[in-house]
Amino acid sequence: MELKKFIVNPIQANCYLLWDITKEAVLIDCGAWFPQEREQIKKFVEDNGLTLKHHLNTHLHFDHIFGNAFVEESFGVKAEANDADWPWAANIKERVARFGVKYDEDVPPLGRVLNDGDEILFGGSRIIAISVPGHSPGSLAYYLPEEKMLFSGDALFRGSIGRTDFPDSNHRDLITTIREKILTLPEETVVYPGHDRETTIAFEKSYNMYLR
Decide if pLDDT at 82 tops 90: yes
Q: pTM (2 decimals)?
A: 0.97
Cβ–Cβ contacts within 10 Å for residue 119, how many? 9
User: Quick one: angle between helices 68-75 and 35-47, nearest 10?
Assistant: 40
Instruction: Tell me the per-residue pLDDT of 96-133, one tens digit each, with 9 for 90 and over.
Output: 998 787 888 999 999 999 999 999 999 999 999 999 99
pLDDT, position 100:
81
> CA-CA distance, 44 to 109, in Å (whole number)?
26
CATH number for 122 = 3.60.15.10
Q: What is the domain range of residue 105?
A: 2-211
> Distance (Å, rounded) from C-alpha 50 to C-alpha 130?
26
Total tally of structural domains belonging to the chain? 1
DSSP 44-68: HHHHTT-EEEEEE-S---GGGTTTH
Alpha carbon of 206 to those of 6, 88, 141, 188, 212: distances in Å? 28, 34, 21, 13, 8
Residues forming beta bridges with residue 28, ordered by sequence position: 16, 56
Name the pLDDT band for 175 (thresholds 50, 70, 90): very high
Closest CA to 194 of 145, 135, 118: 135
Phi, psi angles (nearest 5°) of residue 25 = -130, 160
pLDDT tens digits, one per residue of 25-60: 999 999 999 999 999 999 999 999 999 999 999 999
Nearest Cα to Cα of residue 108 among 90, 94, 124: 90
**Residue 62, C-beta contacts closer than 8 angstroms, at least 6 positions apart:** 31, 88, 89, 92, 95, 96, 103
